[in-house]
Structure 1
Amino acid sequence: MARLGVFVCHCGANIRRTVDVERVKEFANDLPGVVLSEDYPYLCSAPGQRMVEEAIKEKGLTGVVVAACSPHLHEPTFRGASAEAGLNPYLCEMANIREQCSWVHSNGVLATDKACDIVATMVEKVKRNQPLEPIEVPVQRGALVVGAGVAGIRAALDIANAGYPVTLVEKQSSIGGNMARLSETFPTLDCSQCILTPLMVQVSRHPNIELLTYSEVEEVSGYVGNFKIRIKKKPRYIIEDLCTGCDDCVPVCPVTLPNEFDMNLAWRKAIHIPFAQAVPAIYTLDAENCINSNLESESGDYRVLACEACALACGPDAIDF
């Protein structure tokens, strides 16, 4: 048999000026399972918490509802008081009659009616609550940062500098994001690249950061502290360890296209690097726009014949297309 206590807080005048706390208390007292209903000017104060603790012990309460402010503010307070009195803290619930009633309604009658409904709802919830105990689970001591604009770069560096491994994923072929497109930054008109480029270089050289460019998150599973992430890395058609960024492949490429990095106001080749300060400084071959022809072989398979101009010009033989 449930033996519940309901405690209604005035929150000074924050709740009392709009909500009739006496009516809420009397309403709660008539709810099935409620054996005690009290109101108090400041339940979060030391005397208020002491009143809750003493009531739990004296009345043998099996559950508590505190009608007061948001649970984000004082749920830990009252669950702590419940635990001090020997009640499982998860059998204590907050009914938010401040942010959801007194602060958002000017009609006192309707605000009080709503407060009564919220209290009744939380009383029924507490009846169905089960005692819980916190558990410890192993946590993967690392982080995934998705997006390597200036915010993602800064986040990755902060985590990595704290000693934790970081995987930084960026869908474009270079990190930097939109800030890399700017010449000055607001409001001081400082040089954008003067701020961004050193951070990009730090990311690429940091021993705690694994940088995955031209990659996208495909699947997320697991739970907080133990996520499993599937990442798809798109092909550059360049052997990254061999590419020196010499630029010999660009002049010989016969394909000219609008440059997306420059908002299509400039031009690039099918094999390109997005901008001069790109990190990593590795070229990407735009396979969709490369000159090629799909020829069907006798076996029914397709093979791609490219012009191979870039491959012939590449001294390190880094083209893999």
Structure 2
Amino acid sequence: MAELIQGSFEYDVVVIGGGIAGMEASLDLAEMGFKVLLVEREPTIGGKMFLLSKVFPTLDCASCISTPKMAAVAHHPNIDLWTYSEVTRIDVKGKGDFEITVLRKPRFVNEELCTGCGTCEEVCPVVLPKEYDYGLRGRKAAYIPFDTAVPKKAVIDIDNCIFCGQCERECPAGAIDFTQKPTIYKIKAHAIIITTGYRLFPAERKEQYGYGKIPNVITAMQMERLLSPTRPFNSVLRPSDGKEPSSIGYVLCVGSRDKTVGNPRCSQVCCMYSIKQAQLILGALPLADVTIYCMDIRAYGKGFEEFYQKAKAMGVKFVRGRVAKIEELPSGNVRVVYEDIDDGKVNSAEHDLVVLSVGLLPSNDSIISIIHGAKIAVDDLGFIRVDPSAPTQTNIEGIFAAGCATGPKDIPDTILEAASAAARCAAYLKSLKQERMIPVEVVSNGKK
């Protein structure tokens, strides 16, 4: 049973979600002198951006952008970072008056003693699919999410722990603590920024594409991990036999622009991340053939059209066709059956590996349902609705939203929107101070 921690916990702003948007908003507000609590439900901050190989269209290293921000968040004197924690209730009590209930889940590791050495992971006998590699390799029940996790502290997956005691016996710091319990905190805040990000469309819902049944059909995020500097293998290998594929097919708009799965809208990033991956594959496997099956290519952003033309010049084939089904062949290869939009014929092609470019869905369900005292507005898909004239302001005064919490967008737009949310939030807090409603104490470098 969770223990309620007594005490006064008050912040200017609570930021919910520790991905790139949450980190950007927290850092901007902290630099302006506001006291920030950043709450992240995973054991580490960084979100999905850290899992990417490079960003389009510049092909800059994704982790080179996110890792410094992760470190800055962890060490900023105006930011308190709570990882492995969940917001379970938000009470809107009035203007500039929010009570946020936060559940801090036990790591079963003493964070003050843990050095992140990884000994517990080495000796743990339980092997599970690793979430950060989307099942391409395993992790232990005692684990550190990845080498540059922030905080770099171990966590024990208690639901899968067999209580053999190996980690407890071998930990050189004596940090394993199975007596830890969940704790509940009541936080007072004057503003909230929601940066809960997105979730990927579950590809298995498109049964005709065989994901989860055909070994050589993977998602684009799994391919992203195969291309990343922190990849599970030393090359791009197909799952069935560990061989390098010589022919790779991409199926676009899996779970987006598709009324049959309830998402008629474009996810905005799938075309470009597929083109990015195609270019990176040709860099890793120069002799490979890469084909992208699409209705059309939406290269709408700065440098996107040039990026698309570059891929065509590199030899990436673009087929305007709707894929009807994907079949496994006796050889282990995959047949893609598609309707060619240009000639109206049903054609098929064989590939060693097929990648499903899945769309983006809202990840706001839990937040929307826990707000009491007011109802936050969402659109028909569940993304948080914001004021068009003030694009990060929700319908609840004092609650702001940014990043993919408000709809699919790429990384530059996410960072830009997070900075906008921080600026609007700061203006709101200063207006409260002028009304003498709250005693805002500006902190600079840890000093009032």
What's the TM-score once normalised by structure 1's chain length?
A: 0.51
> Which residue identity is paired with 2:66?
L
1:173 is matched with which residue: 23, 43, 46? 43
Give 1:224 shift. 3.3
Partner of 1:295: none
Q: What is the letter of the counterpart of residue 311 of structure 1?
A: E
What one-letter code is carried by the residue in structure 2 that aligns with 1:279? V
The structure where helix makes up a greater share of residues is 1
Higher RCO by CA contacts (8 Å cutoff, separation 6 or greater): 2
Tell me, yes or no, if the aligned pair for 2:53 and 2:62 is still in contact at 8 Å: yes
Query: Aligned runs of 1:222-301 on 2, under 5 Å?
Result: 222-291=93-162
Letter in 1 for 2:88: E
Match of 2:63 in 1: 193
SS at match of 1:153: helix
Give the Cα–Cα distance (whole angstroms) in 2 for the partners of residues 174 and 141 of structure 1: 21
Counterpart CA distance in 1 for 2:124 and 2:108 is: 15
Amino acid at match of 2:79: I
> In structure 1, how many angstroms separate the alpha carbons of the residues matched to 2:23 and 2:137?
27
Contact 2:45–2:149 (CA<8 Å) still a contact in 1? yes
1:316 positional shift? 1.0
**Residue in 1 that maps onto 2:171:** 314
Q: Distance in 2 between matches of 1:282 and 1:159?
A: 26
Q: Output one character per residue of 1:12-50: Cα deviation in whole Å (capped at 9) or x when no partner.
A: xxxxxxxxxxxxxxxxxxxxxxxxxxxxxxxxxxxxxxx
Spell out, residue by residue over 1:281-321, the C-alpha distance to the aligned partner (whole angstroms, 9 max, x if none). Answer: 00000011111xxxxxxxxxxxxxx2100011101110011
Deviation at 1:141, TM superposition (A): 6.5
Residue pairs, 1:1-321, within 5 angstroms: 142-221=12-91, 222-291=93-162, 306-321=163-178
Shift of 1:251: 1.4
Secondary structure at 1:237's aligned position in 2? coil
Return the offset for 1:214: 0.4
Contact map agreement 2:121 2:144 (CA 8 A) in 1: no
The SS at the match of 1:241 is: coil
Count of matched residue positions in the alignment of Structure 1 and Structure 2: 168
Distance 1:272 1:141, change over 3 A: closer
Paired with 2:11 and 2:60, the residues of 1 have a C-alpha distance of 36
* Per-residue deviation, 1:180: 1.0
Give distance in 2, aligned partners of 1:281 and 1:224.
Answer: 38
* Residue 250 of structure 1, CA deviation: 1.4
Instruction: Give the aligned residue type for 1:232.
Output: L
Give me the whole-angstrom Cα distance separating, in 1, the residues matched to 2:28 and 2:140: 36
1:195-241: per-residue Cα shift (whole Å, max 9, x none)?
A: 00000000000000000000011111123311111100011100110
The alignment's C-alpha RMSD in Å is 1.1
Cα distance, 1:212–1:141 mapped onto 2, change above 3 Å: closer
SS in 2 for 1:198: helix
Write out the 4+ residue segments of structure 1 that deviate beyond 2 Å after TM superposition: none
Q: Distance in 1 between matches of 2:80 and 2:160?
A: 30
Distance 1:282 1:183 in 2: 24
Partners of 1:274 and 1:230 in 2: CA distance: 26
- Secondary structure of 1:142's counterpart equals strand
Worse-matched range after superposition: 242-251 or 196-205? 242-251
SS of the equivalent of 2:21 reads: helix
Deviation per residue, 1:245-273 (Å, 9 max, x gap): 01111111110111011111111011001
Matches of 1:170 and 1:270, distance apart in 2: 20
Aligned identity (percent) is 50
Task: Name the SS for the 2:152 alignment partner.
Answer: coil
Letter in 1 for 2:132: F
Return the letter of the residue paired with 1:256.
V
CA–CA distance in structure 1, aligned partners of residues 11 and 148 of structure 2: 32
Distance, in Å, in 1 between the alignment partners of 2:142 and 2:133 is 16
1:117-152 per-position Cα deviation (integer Å, ceiling 9, x unaligned): xxxxxxxxxxxxxxxxxxxxxxx7610000000000
Cα 1:154–1:290 shift into 2, 3 Å? same
C-alpha distance after superposition, 1:46-96 (max 9, x if no partner):
xxxxxxxxxxxxxxxxxxxxxxxxxxxxxxxxxxxxxxxxxxxxxxxxxxx
Q: Partner amino acid for 1:275?
A: F
Which secondary structure does the structure 2 equivalent of 1:246 belong to? Answer: coil
Counterparts of 2:98 and 2:90, CA distance in 1: 7
Could you tell me which runs of 5 or more consecutive residues in structure 1 were left unpaired when the two chains were aligned: 1-139, 292-305
